[in-house]
Amino acid sequence: MVAFLYPLIRPFLFSLDPEVAHEIVLFILKYLGAIFSPPPPPEGAPISLMGLSFPNRVGLAAGFDKNGTAIDGLAHLGFGFIEVGTVTPRPQAGNPKPRLFRLPQARALINRMGFNNAGVRSLVAQAARRRWSGILGVNIGKNADTPIERAVDDYRIALLSTWAIADYIALNISSPNTTHLRTLQHGEHLEKLLAELSLLAEQLTQTTGKRVPLVVKIAPDLDEESLTHIATTLTAYPISAVIATNTTLSRTGVAHLPLAHQTGGLSGAPLMAVSTRIVEQLSSLLQGRLPIIAAGGILTAEDAVAKIRAGASLVQLYTGLIYRGPRLVQEVIKATAAECLPRSQRSQAM
Ligand SMILES: Cc1cc2nc3c(=O)[nH]c(=O)nc-3n(C[C@H](O)[C@H](O)[C@H](O)COP(=O)(O)O)c2cc1C
């Protein structure tokens, strides 16, 4: 129903400021979730990963529902998992507006939102009220005014606060819109962060009796040496998966477009190839020791299949939803299910 309506309302949404359009969509989803009962478990190819049972391979990427206000409505789109956040310990306004730009010719977005969010306490209250019982990931980050040397403190607070409501916690160390955040992907910064947080997670598992897998989200703008270091470090600590990737600082393929000069992270179709290349490289470095969750430029079912073929176990969508609407979720669920079936059963499923 919503999938059918989206092509009709998209021209109206695209006539508005992108952030206003997003707020309207979130508002509709919030009320949809309040009115209708939670949907039954969605269809697809189930998979067990990180000790969790995913009903299908398709999730919502972080940043769409930063405060967890529309979880029940989003569940109606058929997602196998929903990642909320990025949330920071304290509420913060984010960067000045305008901070979100459409590049429709390239089916892309540029954003420099800067972790605008209502803070961890608000997210926890929203998530605790949800009626949907599917897999909820919580993506955490640091406040903009916390010095980078004290970043670990913010991740500790956010981890402690969201432990009870999260099925997995994603450490966002790859947003390009928080000064120096991406340095946490490198060298001793990464080792210190993972050492401290995995120790805290271990203590929380003991004291609460609940295990919450930790996941790390990385950038696409990484050279081979950095990626090799990340893969080695992730496997040296009890990290359960890696999300590849966040948005890119590159403007390859879009530099000629009117809004390409805007500061921020580029997402959507132009990110597909570079992000999939990272999945491929990670897959060869990790050799199956950690599952990969692929995000970046999935605009079609074929894009999602390419991510699975590159080595991903799960995929996440964001910009594709803006351009294609809820129909994309159904298409990707179907295509990834067919791709993940044993070869002998594939033709029957198509
Ligand atoms: C407007 C916007 C806001 C985002 N906010 C976040 C965020 O808060 N945390 C995060 O980890 N990723 C965030 N992302 C990145 C997405 O989760 C995703 O990794 C990226 O956009 C690539 O996927 P896509 O090409 O399908 O959009 C954001 C992306 C967009 C477009």
Q: Which of 161, 174, 175, 283 is catalytic?
A: 175
Burial class (CB in 10 A: 0-12, 13-18, 19+), 5: exposed
Query: What number of other Cβ atoms are within 10 A of residue 91's Cβ?
Result: 16
Ligand 1 centre distance from Cα of residue 220 (Å): 12
Between the CA atoms of 286, 291, 297 and 299, what dihedral angle is there, to the nearest 10 degrees?
140
The DSSP result for 188-227, as a single string, is HHHHHHHHHHHHHHHHHHHHHS----EEEEE-S---HHHH
295-304 confidence digits (pLDDT tens): 999 999 999 9
How would residue 5 be classed by pLDDT, with cut points 50, 70 and 90? confident
Task: Please state the atom number of ligand 1 nearest to the C-alpha of residue 247.
Answer: 20
Residue among 140, 267, 329 to mutate when testing ligand 1 (max atoms within 8 A of CB): 267
319 lines ligand 1 (CB under 6 A): yes
Query: What number of other Cβ atoms are within 10 A of residue 214's Cβ?
Result: 23
The pTM score is 0.97
Task: Please state the atom number of ligand 1 nearest to the C-alpha of residue 271.
Answer: 25
Task: Please state the atom number of ligand 1 nearest to the C-alpha of residue 268.
Answer: 25
Contact predicate 106/45, CB 8 Å: no
Q: Is residue 175 flagged as an active site residue?
A: yes
2-341 CATH choice from 3.20.20.140, 3.60.20.10, 3.20.20.70, 1.10.645.10: 3.20.20.70
Tell me the C-alpha distance between 235 and 242, whole Å.
10
Query: What number of other Cβ atoms are within 10 A of residue 279's Cβ?
Result: 26
80 lines ligand 1 (CB under 6 A): no
pLDDT at 347: 52
Query: What number of other Cβ atoms are within 10 A of residue 288's Cβ?
Result: 9
How would residue 350 be classed by pLDDT, with cut points 50, 70 and 90? very low
Between the CA atoms of 129, 133, 135 and 138, what dihedral angle is there, to the nearest 10 degrees?
0
232-276 confidence digits (pLDDT tens): 999 999 999 999 999 999 999 999 999 999 999 999 999 999 999
81-138 confidence digits (pLDDT tens): 999 999 999 999 999 999 999 999 999 999 999 999 999 999 999 999 999 999 999 9
Ligand 1 centre distance from Cα of residue 137 (Å): 14
Ligand 1 centre distance from Cα of residue 15 (Å): 22
